[in-house]
Amino acid sequence: MAKRPRHGGSAAGGSGGGPATRTTDDDSAEYIRKRQAECRGLLEALNFQFYAHVCEQREQNPRKSWADGCQDYVKHMRKLMVRS
């Protein structure tokens, strides 16, 4: 016996393209613009925090490696890039 399609979808589980699921190019473009703005804000905040960390380390630990802080920065940057 064949499966009945879900409400608003097809037997294969697709969206069916009903009015509630359709998006216009304008909607997609607006989402992308908002997402890019959010990512720019997060990147700016991350860079500011990293800069503050470097300034602090320069004052407090001028003869110590800052590699751990740099690795943390890269780790957070990668997480941000995955989200975008």
Residue whose C-alpha is closest to residue 83's, from 44, 43, 27, 50: 43
Report the pLDDT value the prediction gives residue 23, as an integer from 0 to 100: 59
**Do 68 and 57 touch, CB atoms closer than 8 A?**
no
Report the pLDDT value the prediction gives residue 3, as an integer from 0 to 100: 54
**Do 26 and 19 touch, CB atoms closer than 8 A?**
no
Statement: the pTM of the whole predicted model exceeds 0.85: no
Taking the domains of the chain in order of start, what are their residue ranges? 46-84
Distance of CA 72 to the CA centre of its chain: 17
pLDDT at 4 exceeding the cut of 60: no
Confidence of residue 9 (pLDDT cuts 50, 70, 90): very low
Per residue in 21-66, pLDDT tens? 555 777 888 998 998 898 889 999 999 999 999 999 999 999 999 9
